[in-house]
Amino acid sequence: METKKTIFSGVQPSGSLHIGNYLGAIAQWVEMQKDYNSIFCVVDYHAITVRQDPKRFGEQILDVVKTYLAAGIDPKKSIIFQQSHVTAHTELAWILNCAGARVADLNKMTQFKEKVGESKESAGVGLFDYPVLMAADILLYNTDVVPVGEDQKQHVELTRDLAKRFNNAYGEVFKIPDVKMQKEGARIMGLDDPLKKMSKSATSPANYIALTDTPEAAAKKIMRAVTDSGAEIKYDKEEKPAIANLLNIYSLLSGKNVKDLEKEFKGKGYGDFKKGLAEVVGNFLADFQKKYNQYGDKDIKDILEHGAKRARPIAEETLRRVKEKMGII
């Protein structure tokens, strides 16, 4: 009897992955894959909600998988696949568009509002509808838990609502998933603006530390990172959001707790603190990149092909049950 619960999560191949993606999402997947049936997707159809360069897109897709592997996701244990390889995702998204999702739901999504700003009317319909595709991703696999960063919480809540609405209207098909976020690290902020989350689609690369940045490049970004007024190294999210963010990153990558770091840097200035952080980040990146660089494109394509073969029957069975309930013969 299968008793393990299932986790499902994904990352968009929309640019360089950064330490926020790692600390907020991927690091917890690595821990959880020991205890859960784990399914990790490269959500390429989510990434095309904004324009991607066709010359680079394929490479970006493979790079996400390399990141998963370098972080410690084991393709023998976990299913790793590309969203567009399993057509049930877009099929179920369409069905949920018709049998669940309302314009009013999507109008509430803060990520959409943040991304489009004032230009809502000219935004692509795909960007507006993006949470419904995400709901389809999750619901196809009878997911129990969705481990993500804080910015995705609202989308998982919508997924729960859509699943309940469908079940009520047509009969029980979907399991209702829970969201899981890291205690720390769920929201790593930008180095250039500690009030906005670190984002791979930020306009300036000074916003993020990419997992592929050289230790030297990362050190430069850290030394130039915005700081707060005063000189003390103290964790205070309200008064010192920039230093709190740097302390958080330092703590997560070094395994030292924040209180100990405050003691270690007592009486020292921002410069010393940043040098210490640059060293910790540099060591992490060097180690990560050693693993990242050992994978060839052919290995990755094989992993994706194998992953799609394992994902497809699970997704197709859910879709079959959905269609049956709706009388689609």
DSSP 30-46: HHHTTTSEEEEEE-HHH
Angle between helix axes 297-326 and 88-98 (nearest 10 degrees) is 40
Residue from 33, 78, 152, 248 touching ligand ATP (CB under 6 A): that is 152
137 binds ligand LTN (CB under 6 A): yes
Residue 146 touches which of ligand ATP, ligand LTN, none (Cβ within 5-8 Å per kind) = ligand LTN
Q: Are 23 and 15 in contact (CB under 8 A)?
A: no
Q: Binders of ligand ATP: how many residues, by CB under 6 A?
A: 19
Q: Are 82 and 42 in contact (CB under 8 A)?
A: yes
Inter-CA distances, 88 with 5, 18, 320, Å: 22, 29, 10
186 binds ligand LTN (CB under 6 A): no
Residue type, 13: P
Report the nearest approach of ligand LTN to the CB of residue 240 (Å). 28
Residue from 66, 200, 221, 274 touching ligand ATP (CB under 6 A): that is 200
Q: In a 10 Å sphere around its CB, with 0-12 CB exposed, 13-18 middle and 19+ buried, how is residue 215 labelled?
A: middle
192 binds ligand LTN (CB under 6 A): no
Q: Binders of ligand LTN: how many residues, by CB under 6 A?
A: 13
Sign of CA dihedral 98, 310, 130, 122: negative
7 binds ligand ATP (CB under 6 A): no
- From the candidates 197, 221, 240, 274, which is the catalytic residue? 197
State which residue, 137 or 319, has the beta carbon closest to ligand ATP.
Answer: 137
Q: In a 10 Å sphere around its CB, with 0-12 CB exposed, 13-18 middle and 19+ buried, how is residue 203 labelled?
A: exposed
Residue from 27, 138, 158, 243 touching ligand LTN (CB under 6 A): that is 138
Residue from 6, 7, 12, 303 touching ligand LTN (CB under 6 A): that is 12
Token pair recorded at residue 57: 């897109």
14 binds ligand ATP (CB under 6 A): yes
82 binds ligand ATP (CB under 6 A): no
115 is catalytic: yes
Residue type, 67: T
> Where do the H-state alpha helices sit in 38-193?
44-47, 54-71, 88-98, 103-107, 110-116, 125-139, 153-170
Residue 186 touches which of ligand ATP, ligand LTN, none (Cβ within 5-8 Å per kind) = ligand ATP
307 binds ligand ATP (CB under 6 A): no
174 binds ligand LTN (CB under 6 A): no
136 binds ligand LTN (CB under 6 A): no
**Residues 6 or more apart in contact with residue 67 via CB below 8 angstroms:** 11, 17, 21, 22, 26, 211, 292
187 binds ligand ATP (CB under 6 A): yes
Inter-CA distances, 265 with 175, 224, 256, 260, Å: 48, 19, 13, 9
200 is catalytic: yes
What stretch of H or E contains 287? helix 270-292
Applying CB under 6 A, the span of 7-15, 192-200, 215-223, 287-295 interacting with ligand LTN comes to: 7-15
10 binds ligand LTN (CB under 6 A): yes
Residue from 6, 7, 11, 211 touching ligand ATP (CB under 6 A): that is 11
Active site members: 115, 197, 200
Kindly list the residues in this chain that would bind ligand LTN in the complex (CB under 6 A): 8-10, 12, 43, 46, 134, 137-138, 146, 148, 152, 155
